[in-house]
Amino acid sequence: MKRSAESLDPRIAQRLKRNEQGLVAVIVQQYDTDEVLMLAWMDDEALRRTLESRRATYWSRSRQEYWRKGDTSGHVQHVKSIQIDCDGDALLMKVDQIGAACHTGTHSCFEAGGTIQ
């Protein structure tokens, strides 16, 4: 992962419990309906960029690069709030989703995956 000259606020960074790859899971919800849109991953730099721009930025585990949601597709996520869970190993990010959240074109990645029970 690329490191920036700027860094995440240490008061936030010290609360995060990252996995072996230095990532934390991010559950993304539509802010006004609480619909779960997707699960993504952030490192400290992605979270810093998100907090600074108020646009969701994630770490792509498959492409090994940062991606700001909507830069290619136009399906932007405007961040309304970010909460950390009690263990510090997950974030809940509420966004105003413009267009589809899922790369398949569905509003939620959980629509695309379907029901298993």
**Percent of the chain at pLDDT exceeding 70:** 96
The pLDDT of residue 117 is 85
Residue 14 has pLDDT above 60, yes or no: yes
Q: Where do the domains of the chain lie, and which CATH numbers do they carry?
A: 22-110 (3.10.20.810)
> What sign does the CA torsion over 66, 3, 96, 40 have?
positive
Mean pLDDT over the full length of the chain: 93
The pLDDT of residue 37 is 97
3-state secondary structure of 11: helix
Beta-carbon neighbour count of residue 112 at 10 Å? Answer: 15
The pLDDT of residue 114 is 81
Cβ 78 vs Cβ 54: under 8 Å? yes
Average pLDDT of the segment spanning 85-111 = 94
Identify the burial level of 47 via C-beta atoms within 10 angstroms of its C-beta, where 0-12 means exposed, 13-18 middle and 19 or more buried: buried
Cα–Cα nearest to 78, from 102, 110, 99, 54: 54
Average pLDDT of the segment spanning 59-79 = 94
113: confidence class by pLDDT, cuts 50, 70, 90: confident
Residue 115 has pLDDT above 60, yes or no: yes
- Residue 89 is encoded by which pair of tokens? 């190993």
Cβ 114 vs Cβ 106: under 8 Å? no
Average pLDDT of the segment spanning 40-58 = 97
Residue 3 has pLDDT above 60, yes or no: no
